[in-house]
Amino acid sequence: MKANQLPPSIVYNRWMPFLAFSSFAAILFGIKLFLIGTYGNATPYWDQWDAEAENLYRPFLEGTLSWTNLFAPHNEHRMFTMRLLTLALLTANGIWNPLLLMVVNSAVHIAALGFSITLLAHVIGRKHLPALLFFSLVLFGVPYAWENTLIGFHSFYFVLLFSIACLWLTVNSNPLSARWWGGVVCAVLAFLSLASGIFALAAAAIIGIVFYATELRKTRKQLFAVGILAGLFMIGVVLTPSLAGHASLKATSVPQFLDALIAVLGWPISSNFFSAFIRNLPALIFVGIMLWKRPPTDDRKWFLLALVVWMLGQAISIAYGRAVGNLSSRYLDLFAIGILVNFACLISIAQDHMPKRSSWVITGVSIWVITVFISLGLYVSKHIPAELSAKRDMGLAQEINTKNYLATGDFNHLEDKPFLHVPYPNSERLASILASSDIRTILPNNISPPLTAASVASKPVDTFVVDGFYPTTLKRTGMTLGSYGAQGGAAIGQASIQFDTNKQSALLAIPVAGYPLSSGIKLEVEQNGQRSPIIMKKNPKESWGMAYTKVGSGAFSIHLVDSSTTAWLAVGTPSVTGRLDALTKGLLAKYSVFLILGLIVVVLLLTKCGLTSHVTRSTGRRMA
């Protein structure tokens, strides 16, 4: 065998962690795509109108955006990382699409989880990677934190990514080294993602104090590093805005704070002290063992201890700042990380005691995991179906009301509506934001008014008619023109729809029904004397599909030809769409592909593990 060649089994084993992560990512991404496609809506919601449209996109489009805009407060947060992401997506897509942000946020969440699981596997042993991935898939695969998935404008995933990177680099590196300073930069980015990101600095400082106080690393550099971390923490506290309007959400007494903290630490089991104790018992035992044994500073278990401290900091932050509504869906992703950290602590404890008390250890681990999973299932079944249904219905109502206002200019479509049927708490403020011509040019495709036709001509006049589609085809708002009429699909002729108001180059989405791929049917766009076919991959038949074509600035026409006596064609009014809108829509529609691919990889891995185990047992018997 050549030196650069390895046995296939070794090569396969090296690929197994990658395949396991790929399976985990594919399944979780498929679940999130299903959630977005089923319950999500592209209509911007609540804070997005101020934080994105008015304070970010409008100055960006006007050319007045400055660095101060990127670091400006939003509520208690300075959402620098999220602002960079949303600006990048607006630039890449050309128009505002919250669904695109939801999909990208889902990818960021999965990347942050993969990063966290990788580091935890380094701490407790890579042989426990399958257990970490399976536990995490169950833990994060259920949609209790649906707000973070379906609203998009949150930085919870960035704060997770940068906080964990900070703790890994600062705890596992020599103080003031290049890696340590990299951790400090990550801590700053965590704070610039969400206010609670400041607790990455606090957790790193506390571990540094432990190192110094226990004489594990009692050096001037260590003391200076702790001073830098503590100083940056205090600066972050000073820079965190305090809003008078949010005072009612904060804890106003010690009992209220403690009740909120117990609820946070006890989720999803229950909101009482015993539940909080049981859920966090692995972390409590692990902390006790670490402070008793005090392993060397290069032991990576100190990183796990730092995660426990960070987890407690997040819980304290939310219990104090959001004592009212502390179990809102948007916070549960952070609480779930605390459960994952406890699971890692449980494995660490179990493997240290397995040789002596294997049956007791297995029983204890099983009871804790089953308790968490059953509690999570009960919580989800009780709360989530109704919340998701309400979110879907609310999004549809907001889309209809906003779209009707934009189409007609009638303020009655925004005024005196049921709560949350308008996507912003102040209808007058929403109308003033929508009055901006810059904002109107980037509105999501689902609410932006379609282009207005300058003229429509059909030859013969009765071939292409208004609403000329099959009786069972859903009627659309706005003008539609089709060749299905009194003669069914037998009419023959052609039509032209002229548009004179296109002000800039754009990608158009054109609703199409019927059989555009049939012989004798043509669908084309003409601009500057040049005609190009409008491509569709399949016939939408009696439903509406979407065709995409790019046009430049200036007038253009859509031409329809029907020379078939059996097939028919209908089109709706085109609207401007984003460059990535079709990809986003395609991903949401193909969620099952990710689920199937992920499950196939799982089966392959299980088969490989089963065969390997069988060969190992057979070899052992022969040797015996």
Distance CA 207, CA 200 (A): 11
The DSSP result for 240-253, as a single string, is: S---GGGGGGS--S
Q: Are 168 and 131 in contact (CB under 8 A)?
A: no
- 198 burial (CB, 10 Å; 0-12 / 13-18 / 19+) is buried
Least confident range from 78-82, 149-153, 182-186, 195-199: namely 149-153
| pTM reported for the whole predicted model | 0.90
For the residues 270-286, what does the mean pLDDT come to?
Answer: 94
Measured CA to CA, the distance from residue 125 to residue 127 in angstroms comes to 5
Q: What is the pLDDT of residue 15?
A: 73
Report the Cα 328 to chain-centroid distance in Å. Answer: 17
Q: How far is CA 426 from CA 41, 46, 48, 77, 423, in A?
A: 20, 9, 13, 22, 9
Q: Which fold has domain 455-573?
A: Jelly Rolls (2.60.120)
DSSP 74: B
Cβ atoms < 10 Å from Cβ of 286: 23
Per-residue pLDDT of 426-477, as tens digits, reads 999 999 999 999 999 899 999 998 888 899 999 998 899 999 999 999 988 7
Angstrom distance (rounded) from CA 569 to CA 513? 6
Write down the pLDDT at residue 600: 92
Of the candidates 534, 533, 561, which has an alpha carbon nearest to the alpha carbon of residue 548? 534
Handedness of CA 469, 470, 473, 475 (dihedral sign): positive
Grade residue 11 by pLDDT with cuts at 50, 70 and 90: very low
Residues with Cβ within 8 Å of residue 606, at least 6 apart in sequence:
none
CB 30 within 8 A of CB 107: no
For 545, other C-beta atoms within 10 Å of its C-beta total: 16
Q: What is the DSSP letter of 543?
A: E
Angle, CA 543 vertex, CA 541 and CA 545 arms, to 5°: 90
Could you tell me the maximum CA-CA distance found in the chain, to the nearest angstrom? 93
Q: Supply the pLDDT for residue 357.
A: 64
Q: In the predicted model, is pLDDT for residue 370 greater than 60?
A: yes
Instruction: Summarize the confidence of residues 31-59 as an average pLDDT.
Output: 94
- Asked if residue 516 has pLDDT above 80, the reply is yes
Q: By C-alpha distance, which of 188, 187, 229, 191 is closest to 208?
A: 229
- The C-alpha atoms of residue 331 and residue 264 are separated, in whole angstroms, by 9
Cα distances (Å, whole numbers) of residue 382 to 326, 334, 372, 379: 17, 20, 15, 5
pLDDT tens figures, 116-136 = 999 999 999 988 999 999 999
pLDDT band at 617; cut points 50, 70, 90:
low
The predicted-structure confidence for 40-49, as pLDDT tens digits, reads as follows: 999 999 889 9
Q: Per-residue pLDDT for 261 more than 90? A: yes
The percentage of residues in the chain with a pLDDT greater than 90, rounded to a whole number, is 70
DSSP secondary structure, 317-332, as one string: HHHHHTSTTTT-GGGH
Angle (CA) 154-155-156 rounded to 5° is 100
Task: Give residue 3's pLDDT.
Answer: 47
User: Cα torsion for 299, 305, 306, 307, to the nearest 10°?
Assistant: 120
pLDDT of residue 451: 87
Question: Helices (DSSP H) in 214-331: which residue ranges?
Answer: 220-239, 254-266, 273-279, 281-293, 301-321
Residue partners of 65: CB distance under 8 A and separation at least 6: 56, 59
- Please answer whether residues 515 and 521 qualify as being in contact, where contact means their C-beta atoms are separated by less than 8 angstroms: yes
Could you tell me if 238 and 73 are in contact, meaning their C-beta atoms sit under 8 angstroms apart? no
Is 614 a residue whose pLDDT tops 60? Answer: no
End-to-end CA distance of the chain: 29
Q: Is the pLDDT of residue 291 over 70?
A: yes
Peptide bond connecting 460 to the previous residue in cis, omega within 30 degrees of 0: yes
348: confidence class by pLDDT, cuts 50, 70, 90: very high
What integer best gives the mean pLDDT of the chain? 90
| Cα gap 198→172, rounded to integer Å | 19
Supply the pLDDT for residue 613.
53
pLDDT score of 504 more than 80: no
Instruction: Work out the angle between the directed axes of helices 98-124 and 581-589 (0-180°, nearest 10).
Output: 60
- Region at 176 (left for phi over 0; alpha for psi -120 to 50; beta for the rest): left
486-497 tens-digit pLDDT: 888 888 999 999
Over the Cα atoms of the chain, what is R_g? 29
Q: Which of 203, 199, 362, 375 is nearest to 278 (CA)?
A: 375
Placement of tokens 């005090």 in the chain: 294
Domain ranges of the chain: 18-153+411-449+580-624, 155-241, 455-573
Instruction: Give the pairing of strands 480-482 and 569-572.
Output: antiparallel
The string of pLDDT tens digits covering residues 420-436 is 899 999 999 999 999 99
Query: What average pLDDT does this structure show over 590-603?
Result: 93
**Tokens standing for residue 218:** 């009692």
Q: Is 561 helix (H, G, I), strand (E, B) or coil?
A: strand
